[in-house]
Chains A and B, each alone.
Chain A
Amino acid sequence: MENFILDLLRASGADGWTVSDEVRRGWEFYFIRHALDQNRVRDVEHITLTVYKKFCEGDAEFLGSASARIAPTASREEAERLISRLLSEAVLIRNPLYTLHEPRGEAVPVGETPDLRAISGDFLRAMRSVEESAEADVNSYEIFADCVTRRFISSTGVDVTDVYPVSMAEVVVNARREGHEIELYRMYRSGSCDAAALKANVEETLRFGRDKLRAEKTPALGRCDVVLSTGDARQIYDYFIDRMAAGMVYQHISDCEIGKRVCEDAGGDPLTVRAKRRLENSSKNGAYDDEGAPVRDMTIIENSVAKRFFGSRMFSQYLGLQDSFMPGNIAVDGGSASAAELRTGRFLEVVEFSDFQVDSSCGDIAGEIRLGYLHDGDAVTVVEGGSVSGTMRELAGAMRFSKERKQYDNYLIPAVTRLGGMSITGAE
């Protein structure tokens, strides 16, 4: 980023300003089967300017803001014009007065620059090592490895820099028998490549694919307990986390209150949710949030009671929080029973949805079943089709989850989650 941008902001007359300067170097590989379809390199810089203006109307004080990306090749004249325009637009925005983050604590040392060649090589070799068969194999995959260098600067003296890796692998697998072929889809996000975890997860997906070949249509089960044991369970915990966001609370979309339960007590496991500064190999291990606030460990919900809201500077201040931040990593404590104990009796374990959704505002749950295991005592039937639905407002209080936990990128959550009495539409 050219220094004249900071000089112009300092001289602009703005009551505050921030700059986010993110340099992203990315390596990408696209495979059909194991043949390379295309390779790509990204070498880009995203610079975002935000300017703030204070103003009054009667007794009311406001802090308006306006923001824009500026091209790294922008000339001094372009930058000057843009900042001037943003200043004129900021006064249109009547948000009640708040203040920007001040520098806090010691600067976190900048990490080592990720080695894109090494990370990419790990991904390529991991995908090659997956054990395939004539019945189930890899259809295609896409590998993305990025090195992110992010600097955040503000008029209040914040000037922090982070360097970290962000990776993603999209994998499609097929399984086939007697002319019938099916496909399953997976998206893995992480910091760098965890080759062993990737191989194990893709091989588990291949096993799911083989099982799907013998799936029967989901019967109309009416009400049935549903077990979630894949990354889809994150949506369940997001319902609680989203509702603790300062923006949701301030805008009255969430009715959570500090010191009160986040769901009714209906015999479920007590829920404890924590923000974590670091999780092993998470893609969200940045030391600072998008507004330059340092990220730290913090308990959000403890034993199903709301402890602490989190969120952007503006909404947090409106709720009276002075040192809030937007967490990158989330850890949910384990429950009282083992995964095996939760997998007893009659239940439907869904391991593949078309798109599993939980609406954080109203709690509605919906998802079409692409693969499930219907357990009734010792009997297990593989099923597909139909859908699950329900609402967290009714189901959350009795929710159970396992002692064992499993990590999905920036989420460490119970390995098994059981929701009682969901509505199951059959496919028959």
Chain B
Amino acid sequence: MKAAFSSYLDGIAPGLKKLVELLGEDFDYVSVLSTDSVGFSVAISQRAKSVNHSTMMTERGSVLRVRRGGLYSEYAFDRFDPARPEKTAEEARRALNEQFALLEETASAVYETAVLPDEPCELRAEMETAQLPEDCDLGALVDSFSDMSARGVKLGEHAIDCHVRGQSTHVCKLFLTVNRDMRQSYVYSEGMCAVIAMKDGAVKFGYESVSGREGPEIFEKLGEKVEKVVGIAEELLTAERMEPGEYEVIVSPEVSGLIAHEAFGHGVEMDMFVKNRALGAQYIGKRVGSDLVTMHEGAKPEIQVASYAFDDEGTLAHDTVEIRNGILKTGVCDALSALRLGVEPTGNGKRENFEHKAYTRMTNTVFESGESTLEEMIAAVPYGFLLAGMQSGMEDPKHWGIQCIIDRGYEIRDGKLTGKVVSPIVMTGYVPELLGSISMLSRDHELFGSGGCGKGHKEWVKVSDGGPYMKAKARLG
């Protein structure tokens, strides 16, 4: 079925068009992004349960973007009366004029930017989904999650609880300028199962997730993961600490995604080029990885949680090849940064929600697959670790340093897994060295889209990332 576009947004669109027209008298560029996204979140454990209708992307509101004197300004609001657009126009003018007065008083210089192009575009994209979150039987879902939670505790010798969570969101966005009328509607969902195990006072979490641009039916796959999650939690209880050093490693698709996203992806967000904050600007056309490394970024090449028709600035989704055979080709770019850099935007202008500024942000970031099997890759490691599960990562675009905190490592000796597990693992190093050391890639790949991505320590948006198993050398601690 098609995910139907919001009737609320359709209803206020004429009023918003009038608002754009009214402000066009004062400003030389005006756009408005309006959102009406609904969803639910259900969380079940043995000791606490909840249901609510807030997810990372549920929202209803609008943001105006206007330009005057080379300066772009924005006004975010959520009390729009479509019958009285002149009222909102006046409120926006008054609010921004108060700021302009302060900027004049403080003699603030302006970073001048040209007028955004406004090529005509009409689009109404209602994407396929099997089920809408609005139609989901939450009673059945609560029962299903309760069964999974009970099973997780029963299966684990040391399990003290099993948390099961699912979120599903129906996203609707409307983007209007004088010449553009773009409307999109899609559904994405994410779920996770986490088992908490305790032994001798030590507490450990096993964790697995599911995600996709799919409806709540995706949560059926969570049930298949309970047994694996129990196994992970039990393994972590007996895990040893990592002996610091440089090792040959095979990283799982989840860790490949962490590297793609944190270690590399942030470094080629081109708003950072404008601020001279990214080393990537100096590496375009240069080698940053081995011949095996090809990496895509974009809302178009994969169907995952960040696969949309257009971004929050009205730019159509792209498939950007950032690295081809180890050579950095380009980065990704929002519309304003593209103007400043003299390049084309890539459909990566995203906001946390309508209240927040748009930045260059990642969507789906993924390494291309290779020719090997996982078994061949393990057999090729004399001594090292198979790294699996991600806890967190932190970007360092200026220096291309890596910090990835990885859940667990499985020891490999003489081409065989020994059964020894180490945890947690801090992987550090220099991105071109790590990507340059990639010597084998598995044939398949997988993407992960649970959780969110921040810029610095704020501005959380949905992304996915992944890749194949990759064999490389890395510094572990």
A interface residues, Cβ below 8 angstroms from B = 26-32, 34-45, 48, 64-69, 71-73, 89-90, 92-95, 117, 120-121, 124-125, 128, 139-140, 168, 170, 172, 174, 181-183, 185, 187, 220, 247, 250-253, 255, 314-315, 354-355, 357, 361-362, 364, 366-368, 370, 385-387, 389, 393, 423-427
Contacts and interface: CB of A to CB of B under 8 A. Distances in A.
B203 to A, nearest CB: 5
Given A36-B103, A66-B52, A366-B405, A251 B47 contact: yes
Contacts of B357: 28, 30, 38, 40
B76 A255 contact: no
B475 A425 contact: yes
Given A183-B398, A364-B424, A39 B51 contact: no
B341 to A, nearest CB: 13
B204 A362 contact: yes
Contacts of A170: 456-458
Given A36-B71, A247-B48, 19 more contacts: A34-B109, A36-B109, A38-B357, A39-B73, A40-B74, A40-B357, A41-B74, A43-B77, A43-B95, A67-B52, A172-B275, A181-B276, A220-B244, A250-B48, A251-B45, A366-B405, A389-B426, A425-B426, A427-B428
Nearest to B107: A128
Contacts of B202: 362, 393
Nearest to B278: A183
A183 B79 CA distance: 41
9 contacts: A44-B355, A89-B138, A92-B51, A92-B139, A220-B244, A361-B205, A362-B203, A366-B424, A427-B428
A93 B41 CA distance: 13
Given A117-B98, A220-B244, A73 B81 contact: yes
A36 to B, nearest CB: 5
A255 B201 contact: yes
A307 to B, nearest CB: 21
B119 interface: no
B52 to A, nearest CB: 4
Nearest to A168: B458
A168 B103 CA distance: 18
Contacts of A355: 392, 394, 403
A65 B53 CA distance: 12
Contacts of B79: 43, 45, 72-73
A45 B456 CA distance: 26
A424 B50 CA distance: 41
Given A251-B47, A361-B203, A73 B78 contact: yes
B456 A117 contact: no
Contacts of B424: 364, 366, 389
A181 B397 CA distance: 12
A357 B424 CA distance: 12
A32 B275 contact: yes
B373 interface: no
B477 A423 contact: yes
A45 B203 contact: no
A136 to B, nearest CB: 14
Looking at B52, B77, B396, B456, the one whose CB has the most chain A CB atoms below 10 A away is B52
B1 interface: no
Contact of A68 (B54, B96, B142, B355): B54
Contacts of A424: 244
A150 to B, nearest CB: 16
Given A140-B277, A386-B477, A93 B106 contact: no
Contact of B277 (A95, A172, A385): A172
A252 B197 CA distance: 10
B36 to A, nearest CB: 8
A182 B398 CA distance: 7
- Residue from the set A30, A36, A90, A393 with the largest chain B CB neighbour count within 10 Å: A36
A234 to B, nearest CB: 13
Question: B-side binding surface: helix, strand, loop or mixed?
Answer: mixed
A250 B47 contact: yes
Interface residues of B, number: 80
A38 B401 contact: no
Given A39-B103, A366-B424, A71 B396 contact: no
B116 interface: no
B111 A95 contact: no
Contacts of A253: 196, 203
Contacts of A90: 51
Contacts of A28: 357
B343 interface: no
Nearest to B44: A93
B457 A187 contact: yes
A39 B71 contact: yes
Contact of B426 (A73, A187, A387): A387
A69 B48 CA distance: 21
Contacts of A385: 401, 428
A68 B456 contact: no
B74 A68 contact: no
Contact of A65 (B50, B54, B111): B50
B91 interface: yes
A386 B245 CA distance: 10
Interface string B54-75: 1000101100000000011111
Given A93-B50, A93-B142, A251-B161, A41 B75 contact: yes
Contacts of B371: none
A367 B401 CA distance: 12
Contacts of A42: 76, 355
Given A35-B111, A40-B73, A44-B355, A72 B78 contact: yes
B79 to A, nearest CB: 5
Nearest to B101: A117
Interface string B366-410: 000000000000000000000000011010101101110100000
Contacts of B396: 354, 370
Interface string B330-345: 0000001000000000
A251 B53 contact: no
Contact of B74 (A38, A71, A92, A187): A38
Contacts of A44: 61, 76-78, 355
A32 B357 CA distance: 15
A309 to B, nearest CB: 15
Contacts of A72: 78-79
Interface string B89-132: 00110011011101101101111000000000000000000000
A121 B106 contact: yes
B349 to A, nearest CB: 13
Given A39-B96, A89-B138, A124 B108 contact: yes
Contacts of A181: 276, 398
A393 B244 contact: no
Contact of A37 (B111, B405, B428): B111
B111 to A, nearest CB: 4
B443 interface: no
A368 B394 contact: yes
Interface in B239-281: 241-242, 244-245, 274-277
Given A65-B50, A386-B428, A121 B95 contact: no
A389 B477 CA distance: 7
